[in-house]
């Protein structure tokens, strides 16, 4: 996949939007519900030394799994401080990871971030109406 394809796929997720908190050339993709002021980062596409990469949010267990399965192509979050390293993987787009696996990784990144929100926000993102209270 190309960086543009990664961005387009991530942007198609409910509540996803582009943000540039670090610099004009370093986009991040966040997810937020309409009721939230600011979203959480789930994908960070970038180019490092001429190679396209994407840093994806994940669980510590899935991070270790992908690092073991794709050594050199999936590594700890390249720009993340050590405390955040278990929660992010940087994946080379021109590496051993297939497009299908990369899509699963992006889906997992999105789901990991959405799961951190309260249930009412998760419902908003799914387009569900709030439960009826009697």
Residues 27 and 20: beta-carbon distance below 8 Å: yes
45's tokens: 């596409």
Q: Mind listing the pLDDT tens digit for each residue in 47-71?
A: 989 999 999 999 999 999 999 999 9
Strands 16-19 and 28-31: antiparallel
Any domain includes 132: no
Q: How many domains are contained in the chain?
A: 1
Rounded to the nearest 10 degrees, how much is the dihedral formed by the CA atoms of 101, 43, 109, 59? 110
For residue 36, the enclosing domain spans: 3-123
pLDDT, mean over the chain: 90
Report the C-alpha gap between 65 and 79 in whole angstroms.
Answer: 20
Any domain includes 130: no
- Rounded mean pLDDT of 105-118? 95
- Rounded mean pLDDT of 74-102? 87
Residues 24 and 2: beta-carbon distance below 8 Å: no
- Rounded mean pLDDT of 18-36? 86
Q: For 20, list phi and psi in degrees, rounded to 5.
A: -130, 65
Any domain includes 9: yes
Residues 69 and 124: beta-carbon distance below 8 Å: no
The model's pTM: 0.89
CB atoms within 10 A of CB 111: 15
Any domain includes 129: no
- Confidence class for position 81, pLDDT limits 50, 70, 90: confident
- Rounded mean pLDDT of 113-131? 86
At 19 the pLDDT is 92
Any domain includes 112: yes
At 8 the pLDDT is 97
The enclosing domain of 96 has a CATH number of: 3.90.1150.30
125's tokens: 């993102």
- Confidence class for position 133, pLDDT limits 50, 70, 90: low
At 31 the pLDDT is 95
Any domain includes 133: no
């Amino acid at each position: 996949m190309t960086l543009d394809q990664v961005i387009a796929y991530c942007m198609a997720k409910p509540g996803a939007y582009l943000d540039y908190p670090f610099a004009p050339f370093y986009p991040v993709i966040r997810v937020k519900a309409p009721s939230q002021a600011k979203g959480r980062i789930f994908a960070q596409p970038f180019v490092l030394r001429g190679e396209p990469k994407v840093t994806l949010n994940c669980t510590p267990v899935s991070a270790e799994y992908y690092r073991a399965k794709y050594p050199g192509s999936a590594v700890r979050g390249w720009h993340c401080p050590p405390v955040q390293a278990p929660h992010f993987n940087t994946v080379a787009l021109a590496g051993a990871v297939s497009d299908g696996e990369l899509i699963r990784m992006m889906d997992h990144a999105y789901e990991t971030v959405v799961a951190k929100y309260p249930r009412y926000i998760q419902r908003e993102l799914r387009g569900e109406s709030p439960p009826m209270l009697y």
